[in-house]
Structure 1
Amino acid sequence: MKTRAKTLLLVPVLAFLLAGCEGGEFARSIQLTNQYREAHGVHVVLNNATLQAKAQNWAEVLAAEGRLVHSNLAEGAGGGWHALGENLAMASSIDEAQQLFVNSPSHRRTLVSSRYNQVGVGVATRGGRYYVVQVFGG
């Protein structure tokens, strides 16, 4: 019971911390992803700090280079994963990036794959564009 109480106390703190990073964009990406997953009968994904660090690092690389290219998924993701997936987008907003994921068959498959139960999202900006990286693990 103590563990559950501590966990429940941490949820608002984590939500506050997530909202403070990049203006809450990565928290918005996770929210939209989970809404889409639930609407398609798939369990939600939880934020994973290791995957988030990997995604954020890669988003910053992409923004600095001004291009989209997939990362080496295993590099920086930590160990123990049975499955890893990655979505990338460059868009004018987080909502637009999510719509790009939904409209792409390969990105949509990643969004709704039941193989994944955790996610890390990275967001970086350059020239008014958002570089969004979602790294999924399961």
Structure 2
Amino acid sequence: MYIDKYTKATPRTPKHINWVIDLLIKKEHNKELTLEFIKYLIEVYDKVQPFKTKAEQQKCELKYTNLENLKKFEPLNTYGQYSVELIGHVMELLSIEEKQFKGAFMFKTVLTKLRDTDDIYAISNAAMPFRH
């Protein structure tokens, strides 16, 4: 959950397509830095490991998306609604969670599409694969 920066009052839970759209907005305004951020998120995805125990899950500490690592991407906060900190934290958590399930790879696929193409249809289909 986060507080919307425009209303300042409404707690919201972002849907997967929301962070994808936010990255598309950032990419439209600062393509080079956004692509660097997306590449960083892919690196995070590749590095994270799934939780081995319930206790490990309960004491989860984010290792890769701390403020120090995200500082160089802060200019992207000017565009879209989500901060790079929120997107980074969400992506690190989703990546850890996704790796709990053998054969799951949606988040990396979406990040790869965001990195490799400007085709909104392909990107949105990757983000919402079960929607028709």
Structure ranking higher in helix proportion: 2
Structure ranking higher in strand proportion: 1
TM-score normalised by the shorter chain: which range applies? under 0.3
TM-score (norm 2): 0.28
Higher relative contact order, structure no. (Cα contacts within 8 Å, ≥ 6 residues apart)? 1
TM-score (norm 1): 0.27
